[in-house]
Amino acid sequence: MEFSGHVIPAVDLDRYLQGIFAVVNASPNRRPSIFYLAHVLWRHRDTQLLAAPPRAVQRIVFPLILLIGRILGKYRGKCRGSNWPGSPESCTGAPFVDADG
């Protein structure tokens, strides 16, 4: 699939999309893990906005999902947590674009 468009400001859209696609592609049934998806969405909450659920709900639900994921050990890895889908360490291929430059 190829996308064409213009995003203002781009900020970290490339890393956000890389994380989302990593989570979706890691699922054998194409249903992304709520723990990994919530981590990507929460990590980019200041630059990327979901239309639903409402932002107030996101601010309550995502931290709860992350807490449960931490308790269950979902974000542990062999290399400082880098072996789970969508982890910050695994999304380095996309260049970071500074919003000021």
* 5-45 pLDDT tens trace: 777 667 788 888 888 888 888 888 878 889 988 988 888 88
Full DSSP string of 2-57: ------SS-TTHHHHHHHHHHHHHH-TTS---HHHHHHHHHHTTTT---SSS-HHH
pLDDT of residue 93: 59
Does residue 2 lie in a domain region? no
Place of tokens 């981590």: 39
The two structure tokens encoding residue 62: 């995502």
Does residue 7 lie in a domain region? no
Identify the domain containing residue 68 by its residue range: 13-90
pLDDT of residue 86: 79
pLDDT of residue 77: 64
Does residue 96 lie in a domain region? no
Does residue 29 lie in a domain region? yes
The 3-state DSSP class for residue 66 equals: helix
Does position 95 have pLDDT exceeding 70, yes or no?
no
Total number of domains constituting the chain: 1
- Going by the DSSP 8-state scheme, the letter that residue 72 receives in this structure is T
Per residue in 50-61, pLDDT (tens digit) is 888 888 898 999
Q: Which amino acid is at 69?
A: G
Whether this prediction's pTM lies above 0.85 is answered by: no
Does residue 4 lie in a domain region? no
